[in-house]
Amino acid sequence: MPADAASFEDLGFAKVDHGREARRGFPEVIFCQNKTAEQIKAIALSIMKNGSVLLATRLPREIYDELKPDLGKAEYCPISRTLTHVPPKKRKKPVGRIAVVSAGTSDMSVAEEAARTAEVFGNRVTRIYDAGVAGIHRLLHHRQSLSSARVVIVVAGMEGALPSVVAGLVKAPVIAVPTSVGYGASFGGVAALLAMLNSCASGVTVVNIDNGFGAGYAASMMNRM
């Protein structure tokens, strides 16, 4: 393994994997859940000092407010709860196009996590929100955008039917993201997850409940191929 692919910075509580981009094509991402503000700040500053793209997910607004004075160059999105910074030398012309579709406005936070992940990794993204099966004409209105995408991410809660419908309309790979949105019998997204795993449309790949980041990451890999 080349030396730069094995490099990391030991912060004591975390070993920041600076070699991940050399190995995998994408830098390390900060998962902020259960981390303190000081831990997030130290990891973020390490990534930025290394000249890498910064992406932090699941970052609460109140913790960002603590970090803002030290991470002023980074951009915070309250909908997706992501923090991003792309240094000038890492800015590239976006390639391909990924469509991110959400069934309802309530699914938007997960959809935006997917969209912003894809964008920060250099993809062109089209957002199609609130286009669920309860009003299928809203989805069909975007047939051209869906058909021209290289990858389609479909985010849905409730019964999770939307990915099957989309996969029946497009030739691109479809990544389904179940969300925890729904009433009691949705079981926190398990109903949507099982529906997506049992999709009758071929070519549907399913990520974990509320995992917009995982969908955006996988779509970026597919789009680069």
Which carries the bigger pLDDT value, residue 58 or residue 71? 58
Q: Judging by DSSP bridges, how do beta strands 9-10 and 174-178 pair with one another? A: unpaired
What pLDDT score does 57 carry? 97
pLDDT digits (tens, 9 = 90+) for 170-182: 999 999 999 999 9
Quickly name the fold that domain 95-224 has: Rossmann fold (3.40.50)
State the average pLDDT over residues 74-85: 95
What pLDDT score does 3 carry? 47
Q: Are 158 and 103 in contact (CB under 8 A)?
A: yes
What pLDDT score does 5 carry? 61
Domain with CATH 3.40.50.1970 in the chain: 95-224
What pLDDT score does 214 carry? 97
pLDDT digits (tens, 9 = 90+) for 145-167: 999 999 999 999 999 999 999 99
What is the pTM for the complete model shown?
A: 0.92
In the chain, which residue ranges form alpha helices assigned H by DSSP?
A: 20-24, 37-49, 61-67, 108-120, 136-140, 143-147, 162-167, 190-197, 212-224
